[in-house]
Chains A and B, each alone.
Chain A
Amino acid sequence: GAGVSQTPSNKVTEKGKYVELRCDPISGHTALYWYRQSLGQGPEFLIYFQGTGAADDSGLPNDRFFAVRPEGSVSTLKIQRTERGDSAVYLCASSPTSLDTQYFGPGTRLTVL
């Protein structure tokens, strides 16, 4: 079956702009996670959704970052007033429940000029 997909694959934007990154989880997976992977580092947790609600957003670095999952499937990570330090690969993962193995998408590489 189809895996986790993320769009766009790459996004280049200018400092101060607004961006949206999309994640399509595996059908039927209720748990969805966003991670950020900076160059040379392992992924770092940003936010976790159980269904439509953000159950844990403790990893969001500041209030410029926001994510939604209005219908319990597709999720969008939104970054306002982008900064050069936001440049990273943003990974999405889903799992049937939060107890199960997480399956990752290919990520979106965000470059802020």
Chain B
Amino acid sequence: AQTVTQSQPEMSVQEAETVTLSCTYDTSESDYYLFWYKQPPSRQMILVIRQEAYKQQNATENRFSVNFQKAAKSFSLKISDSQLGDAAMYFCAYRSSMNYGGSQGNLIFGKGTKLSVKP
């Protein structure tokens, strides 16, 4: 079974600075997807960034980028120029490729990292 581990329960960053959130995962599959979701106090999960395992190029979305190391099974999120609105819980998630039998696209989440942004 696949597992996702986020080893940093809490992180803090100064406004305008850069912070990196860590995520490792365990799988025997070669084709899969990885995600970072943001969950503010409103509870609604918001997709931050998505990475396909078959792509070597790291995904970027504006101030958000990932460092995807497939061999190391590592998928960290870098937030540049941190803003007060970035404060939230961040969840790393894994999803099997539909090429594998039994997979129905459900996400497997880590326990999350609470990010605080100091003004």
Contact = CB atoms under 8 A, between A and B. Distances in A.
B109 A106 contact: no
A61 interface: no
Contacts of A50: 104
A41 B114 CA distance: 11
The list of the 3 closest CB pairs from A to B, nearest first, reads A42-B109, A98-B105, A104-B45
Interface of A: 31, 33, 35, 40-45, 48, 50, 55-56, 59, 89, 91, 93, 95, 98-99, 101-107, 109
Interface of B: 4, 35, 37, 42-47, 50, 91, 93, 98, 104-112
20 contacts: A33-B105, A33-B106, A42-B4, A42-B93, A42-B110, A45-B108, A48-B104, A48-B105, A56-B104, A59-B106, A98-B98, A98-B104, A98-B105, A101-B50, A102-B105, A103-B47, A104-B46, A106-B44, A107-B43, A109-B43
